[in-house]
Structure 1
Amino acid sequence: MTAPITIVPLVAPAALDGDDAAGFLASGELGHRVCDEMVGLPDLAPTAAQMLPAWHDATDTLHTGFLARRGDLIVGAVTIDYAQDAGARAAEFDLLVPEEYWGAGVETALLDRAEDEARTRGRDVLQIWSLHRPVEHDRMLVPKTGWGRVPAIGLTDLLEVQGYLLEQVERNSELDLTADPTPLRESLARAVERARADYRLVEWNLPTPPELRDGYADVLARLVTDAPSGDMEFDAEVWDAARVVRRDARLMGAGQMVSVAAVEHVPSGAIVAYNELLIGEDRSGVTHQFGTLVAREHRGHRLGTIVKCANLLRWRGLAPASTRVSTFNAEENRPMLDINEAIGFVPVSYAGAWQKKL
């Protein structure tokens, strides 16, 4: 007889070598396994070591989750993120069930449990992302934005049954960091000439220097409001220097390195554009682009090209053993995709952004 499925809380241990760390380590392994099965890119998922610092600090985001067990075997997990800003309504899910265990009720039990907790915490906007290979399927799904499309998979079938709507498609692109950097240098030179003296490049590695924290906080807060998001209802975020310090500590946890290229508007002194590159403790692994944004009122001056190209050129000296960088952009964000395509990024997978309102 097959053992019944039991759903238990996912607990963040004090340290990954502790006696209570097995479940948390398993959730990290599930993330890599599921990303590998879905799109052949296991490194899209963070490791347990990369996740743990954020789970220890609930000041800005509360992280919870559940494991699905069948006897002593862990057969799936769901993690849930709750922004802690005043008035926040959203709960963000990440459902991790390998193919081997899919279709036997594990995924439904985990999603139902996550939804129940979100309701208990007063959240009425539920969000989850699906990963897709760049292939054609007999049933292709088009988001409400009308931009992009993704093939139907088991997860999307489940989400549709559960009442979620596909709001947006994001493109996951990669750049070969071993390629000739000449196109980056040429694009940067042209963009700097276009921007002229009103803008200047500022670069640093985390932690953010004290004199830049306030300006950096201002532009980080605008990622939610200024980046294309379709009808996804992302909670507005309040940022200050202290929050930048906390974020720096979380991102640098477990030996991660982050490089920032930003643009300062010289007349006002405001930081109006930025790009972040991150790599884990293994400096030969995949580089991930985190945030990239140009403040809405400063678009049209090639600032996106400046921060992207400058940071990629800088990165070659910081992490020379890393061979590729991965980034996600909304399909309707043509200005940013145009920049990516011009400097050599190619699509490798897609993500669907799903939302359900209670």
Structure 2
Amino acid sequence: MTVELTISPITVPLSLDAPDAADFVALGDLGRQICDELVGLPDLAETAAQMLVPWNDTEDTVHTGFVARRGDDIVGMVTIDYVQEEGARTAEIDLLVPEASWGQGVEDALLERAEDEARRRGRSILQLWSLHRATETERMLTPKTGWGRVTAIALTDLLEQRGFRLEQVERNSELDLRGDVEPLRRTLEEARAFAGDDYRLVEWNLPTPPALRDGYAGVLARLVTDAPSGDMEFDAEEWDAARVVRRDGRLTSAGQLLSVAAVEHVPSATIVAYNELLIGEDRTGVTHQFGTLVTREHRGHRLGMIVKCANLLRWREQAPLSPRVSTFNAEENRPMLDINEAVGFVPVSYAGAWQKKI
């Protein structure tokens, strides 16, 4: 006899030691399991400890989700995130159904619940990312941008059936952090000489120093508008020093460490480029590049190379036991991919950006 499928909201505890923390702990474990099953990279997923503070802080983004069970067994989860800017239209969905549960109606039921929840909250644009191995198969999918391809998998079949469209492909690359640093030093010095005296390197660890918060807010706001995004329609974000403080608090929770290398345009006293590297409490784990951007007006001065190389060199002192750094970049973002390839990053997996308007 088939046990009935039930779907209920994920309980968000105040701490992972709380009596009601089981769902949230399972969410972290399931995310790592899915990343391992799909691409063999479990560290792409955040742990429950890393997610807990952001989920309890609803001022900038509201995180919600549902858990699917058959009896007492968890067979899948879905999360839906909503940025809180006035007039925001997007909902970001993450569908987490392990291989053992796929094809039994779990994925359909969870995605249907997520779409219904997004409609209830007044959102009209649904966005979801799929993970793919760096392989070629008979069935390859090309986004509307024409840049990159990903393998067709069960999730992409489901998304296409439900009216989602592949808008963009992102490359996930890794760099071995144990290599010789001298090439990085030479490249950094060459880039700084090319940029000239109008550009100054600034570095810090979170929390952001008060004098830098306004400038940091300005460049963080540009990530949504200036980074290549194909036809993905992201909500513009409003940033100020107070939001930087809130973000700093979320990103330094659970013992995390985040290093920033930025470039200030000296004549305008404006931060115009930045790179972030983040690692969890386990300093022997994988490092994640959290954000990188050169604002449009200041491209062509090798600022991307400056912030990337400077932060990687700095990171050797900040987290010397981390073996590698992982980063995602849009396939059409050739300037940033050129930098990555020159530094030594190699592709390890890919992600598909999917969108549906309702």
Same topology, TM > 0.5: yes
1:248 aligns with 2:248: yes
Q: 2 CA distance for matches of 1:216 and 1:66?
A: 34
Q: 1 CA distance for matches of 2:240 and 2:124?
A: 27
Q: 1 CA distance for matches of 2:173 and 2:36?
A: 16
- 1:129 alignment counterpart: 129
Give structure 1 regions of 4+ aligned residues with deviation exceeding 2 angstroms. Answer: none
Q: 2 CA distance for matches of 1:299 and 1:138?
A: 38
Q: 2 CA distance for matches of 1:181 and 1:10?
A: 45
- 2:334 alignment counterpart: 334
Structural mapping, 1:1-358, within 5 Å? 1-358=1-358
For 1:264-318, what per-residue CA distance to the aligned partner results, in whole angstroms no more than 9, with x for missing partners?
A: 0000100000000000000000000011000000000000000000000000000
What is the CA-CA distance between 1:59 and the residue it aligns to?
0.4
SS at match of 2:260: strand
Q: 2 CA distance for matches of 1:146 and 1:107?
A: 28
SS at match of 1:77: strand
Q: 1 CA distance for matches of 2:356 and 2:206?
A: 36
What is the CA-CA distance between 1:100 and the residue it aligns to?
0.5
Q: 2 CA distance for matches of 1:41 and 1:182?
A: 29
What is the CA-CA distance between 1:68 and the residue it aligns to?
0.5
Task: Give the letter for the 1:33 counterpart.
Answer: Q
- Runs (5+) with no aligned partner, structure 2: none
SS at match of 1:193: helix
Q: 1 CA distance for matches of 2:105 and 2:4?
A: 10
For 1:60-99, what per-residue CA distance to the aligned partner results, in whole angstroms no more than 9, with x for missing partners?
A: 0000000000100011100110000111100000110100
Task: Give the letter for the 2:55 counterpart.
Answer: W
What is the CA-CA distance between 1:187 and the residue it aligns to?
1.1
What is the CA-CA distance between 1:2 and the residue it aligns to?
2.0
What is the CA-CA distance between 1:137 and the residue it aligns to?
1.1
What is the CA-CA distance between 1:113 and the residue it aligns to?
0.2
Number of aligned residues: 358
Q: TM-score, length-normalised on structure 2?
A: 1.00
Task: Give the letter for the 1:117 counterpart.
Answer: E
Q: TM-score, length-normalised on structure 1?
A: 1.00
Task: Give the letter for the 1:98 counterpart.
Answer: P
Q: 2 CA distance for matches of 1:319 and 1:184?
A: 17
For 1:298-357, what per-residue CA distance to the aligned partner results, in whole angstroms no more than 9, with x for missing partners?
A: 000000000000000000000001000000000000000000000000000000000000
Q: 2 CA distance for matches of 1:209 and 1:75?
A: 44
Q: 1 CA distance for matches of 2:319 and 2:221?
A: 28
Q: 1 CA distance for matches of 2:107 and 2:29?
A: 17
Q: 1 CA distance for matches of 2:195 and 2:10?
A: 49
SS at match of 1:197: coil
What is the CA-CA distance between 1:182 and the residue it aligns to?
1.8
SS at match of 1:259: strand
For 1:133-159, what per-residue CA distance to the aligned partner results, in whole angstroms no more than 9, with x for missing partners?
A: 011111100000000000100000000
Q: 2 CA distance for matches of 1:146 and 1:4?
A: 43
For 1:194-250, what per-residue CA distance to the aligned partner results, in whole angstroms no more than 9, with x for missing partners?
A: 011000000000000000000000000000000000000000000000000000000
Task: Give the letter for the 1:34 counterpart.
Answer: I
SS at match of 2:250: helix
Q: 1 CA distance for matches of 2:277 and 2:85?
A: 25
Q: 1 CA distance for matches of 2:159 and 2:181?
A: 42
Q: 2 CA distance for matches of 1:298 and 1:4?
A: 57
For 1:136-194, what per-residue CA distance to the aligned partner results, in whole angstroms no more than 9, with x for missing partners?
A: 11110000000000010000000000000000000000000001112211110110010
Q: 2 CA distance for matches of 1:260 and 1:5?
A: 45
What is the CA-CA distance between 1:51 and the residue it aligns to?
0.3
What is the CA-CA distance between 1:132 and the residue it aligns to?
0.2
Q: 1 CA distance for matches of 2:154 and 2:185?
A: 43
SS at match of 2:8: strand
